[in-house]
Chain A
Amino acid sequence: GAVVSQHPSRVICKSGTSVKIECRSLDFQATTMFWYRQFPKQSLMLMATSNEGSKATYEQGVEKDKFLINHASLTLSTLTVTSAHPEDSSFYICSATDRRTNSPLHFGNGTRLTVT
């Protein structure tokens, strides 16, 4: 089945630093990638939608200058958390799909970010 690789799986960083999370589709072309945040015992919350070659569309309340998303190719999207603060500590998950084929979303295994 389709595989999405997300890296790193866990990262601890100091307050004020930036962290980059990568999301790769390994065996299909991802026209669209989604980035989610999930707090403990809560549902996934969509942060932004990115279509390859276009600027990401951010959900209300998500700061685009803080959460930089790049989707420059059909197999790679990155999320950079800039100037991270402890309240940014969360579980970040990406998903990818090829909207041309209406394929289901395939998810990465998530990145647990801890900001100290």
Chain B
Amino acid sequence: LAKTTQPISMDSYEGQEVNITCSHNNIATNDYITWYQQFPSQGPRFIIQGYKTKVTNEVASLFIPADRKSSTLSLPRVSLSDTAVYYCLVGDGDSNYQLIWGAGTKLIIKP
């Protein structure tokens, strides 16, 4: 079964760039790596997904090395409203369609 590891929590300040890394081994070779944001009492919200190298959209960038054993979510110029829990999600390398969640990183942005 794939295993993921994320930092439990991180602090940063408004305007800073924040990088959150998820380590993951034994992931599916043909599946995306996806990151979600979750606010209290809400369902997770899709942020970004990628397969290899770097992906960028209007809210974040995702860096994935060639071995795909980790991925780094980069949030540029964070604001207070980015305070949330961030989860990585990967496909399991041992079974079809099994998805494995990271435990989540609680990001706190300070003024």
Contacts and interface: CB of A to CB of B under 8 A. Distances in A.
Interface stretch (B18-26, B43-51, B63-71, B76-84): B43-51
A85 B61 CA distance: 43
Interface residues of B, number: 19
Interface stretch (A14-22, A74-82, A103-111): A103-111
Interface residues of A, number: 23
Given A105-B34, A105-B89, A43 B101 contact: yes
Contacts of B104: 43
A102 B46 CA distance: 14
B103 A43 contact: yes
Nearest to A59: B98
Contacts of A109: 42-43
Interface of B: 31-32, 34, 36, 41-46, 49, 87, 89, 97, 99, 101-104
Contacts of A1: 46
Listed from nearest, the 4 A-B pairs whose CB atoms lie closest are A107-B43, A43-B103, A109-B43, A110-B43
Contact of A102 (B32, B36, B87): B32
